[in-house]
Amino acid sequence: MLTISFSVLFSVTAFAVIAFLCCKPQHRWIILLLASLFFYFLLTGLQVLILFLFTAIIYAGTIVTDTVDDKRKRKKRAQFFAAISLLPLLLVKLLPFLPEAIIRLVPAIPVEYKAYQSQLIEIAGISYFTFNGIGYLMDVRKKYISPSRNYFFVLLYISFFPIILAGPMHRAQQLFPQFRNQLQLSAENFSEGFRLLLWGLFKNFVLSQQCYFLMTTIERGHAGGWYVLLQGFAFFVYLYFNFSSYIDIFSGIARIFNIQLVKNFNNRVYASSSRKQFWEGWHITLNHWFRDYVFFPLAKGIQTKWAFNVALLFTFLLIGLWHGISWRFACWGIANGLWMILEQQLKPYFSFISPAVRKHAGMLYHLSIAAFIALLFSTADPLTAYKALFSATTIDAGAPQLLLLHTGLVLLFFIPFDLVARRMGNEPIEVYWGKQKCWVRWTAYVITAVCILFFTVNWTINSYYFRF
């Protein structure tokens, strides 16, 4: 799995900060562009050349599309360039399934980490910069935004280093104005960026790692019965802390330069009481992308509930396949779509239950099914995992003691984390901490930093979603 060392992250951020102080405001976007390309080069080497080529396709597509006013012609031109821009992503996803004679024709691309799902080529962040580029192209087609005539400005949009590897996905309407007019350094930006960064490091280095140890203890213990469901639950919680922490860390870095990234997770999304509530707060930018560019066009003009549900199910199937071309991701996507449909169909039958009871009972219901479905997502062989789940409850000797230790450590950090998250409400952590008294704020900083220093095992930043 791709990881990011502190030295790389610190070097790129420090370079950009120092360069900001030495250049004119109108040139600061160039500094961010150079920092982004340097960051991607340090992680992937010559793969950085792919960004130049992909940006050229998107840049040409937006310019060519914008030269005509006829809706049909704009649509055809945008779809043509979108299809071309999808080819590298499709090649990466489908190459393992092609005949060996064709595979031999594909030149090797240098990478620094193992490919996932037996992929023969892996291009870091390809799913994210492809979808960001296509979103920009489609928005130009719909005249939501005028295309930039500066190729390098579009290159910055595609390669911006806090979001290129694992999101959040973004829209040109949101980022272009910030790149042009809002780039600056200030004490407030540093403070808010520091809080987000510290909070993200705590989630990644402490909570995510402890959940991972809990999950792998069960997996390596050859567990059966309810232990397997606990493994699915541990993965569900681990994935939240691992992915959301990455978003916090890089949102904090972006905030230093006065860039406000879009929200990607609702607070306490793990405590959702329904699948609908969960999907409204999980990986929000990816879900909105599929909603706007897949589901809405499919659902346009639909008159029947049956057809609406088919469009919803197809959208979730594509979301599943976005993670990887395999039967288990396809099943995972379909399972989520069916869950959403059935939940909405059965919801009226539970309206007699009081909201308070429905909320707490709904949390248990959602966590139980989410843990069950998580086995599709997290295990290389789901059939074996489900077979073990419905077998006798067993685990290797010595594993229960380790399991108790890791469960205790997870709860030690999760309980205060959740208490803070409850008090935050809908406020982001940087705003919530900023409103506290000075001594409260600095006590929180010190305690968080001490936990990171004493309980971190692996000092590299990783996101499970790097592999997608």
Residue ranges covered by each domain of the chain: 3-185, 188-261+353-467
Question: Longest C-alpha distance within the chain, in Å?
Answer: 71
- The model's pLDDT over 181-199, given as tens digits with 9 standing for 90+, comes to 889 999 999 999 999 999 9
- Indicate the length of the chain as a whole number: 468
- The model's pLDDT over 400-446, given as tens digits with 9 standing for 90+, comes to 899 999 999 999 999 999 999 999 988 999 999 999 999 999 999 99
Rounded mean pLDDT of 137-148? 94
- The model's pLDDT over 62-91, given as tens digits with 9 standing for 90+, comes to 999 999 999 999 999 999 999 999 998 888
> Following CA atoms 182, 183, 186, 191 in sequence, which dihedral angle do they give, to the nearest 10 degrees?
90
- Inform me whether the pLDDT recorded for 399 exceeds 70: yes
Round to whole Å and give the CA distance between 49 and 295. Answer: 33
- Inform me whether the pLDDT recorded for 164 exceeds 90: no
- The model's pLDDT over 291-346, given as tens digits with 9 standing for 90+, comes to 999 999 998 888 889 999 999 999 999 999 998 888 999 999 999 999 999 999 99
Rounded mean pLDDT of 27-38? 95
- The model's pLDDT over 214-256, given as tens digits with 9 standing for 90+, comes to 999 998 888 999 999 999 999 999 999 999 999 999 999 999 9
Rounded mean pLDDT of 277-300? 93
Average pLDDT, the chain: 89
- Inform me whether the pLDDT recorded for 119 exceeds 60: no
Lowest mean pLDDT: which of 23-32, 143-152, 344-353, 366-375? 344-353
Asked if the peptide bond before residue 168 counts as cis, ω within 30 degrees of 0, the response is yes
Position 320 scores a pLDDT of 94
Round to whole Å and give the CA distance between 175 and 460. Answer: 28
Round to whole Å and give the CA distance between 326 and 321. Answer: 7
Q: Which residue, among 405, 3, 369, 410, has the nearest Cα to 237 in the 3D structure?
A: 410
Position 99 scores a pLDDT of 62
Position 468 scores a pLDDT of 73
Cα–Cα distances (Å) from 107 to 325, 330, 390, in that order, read 21, 29, 45
Position 166 scores a pLDDT of 81
Q: Quick one: which H or E segment has residue 5?
A: strand 3-5
Q: Quick one: which H or E segment has residue 460?
A: strand 460-462
If pLDDT is split at 50, 70 and 90, which confidence band does 2 have?
low
- The model's pLDDT over 102-114, given as tens digits with 9 standing for 90+, comes to 556 555 444 333 3
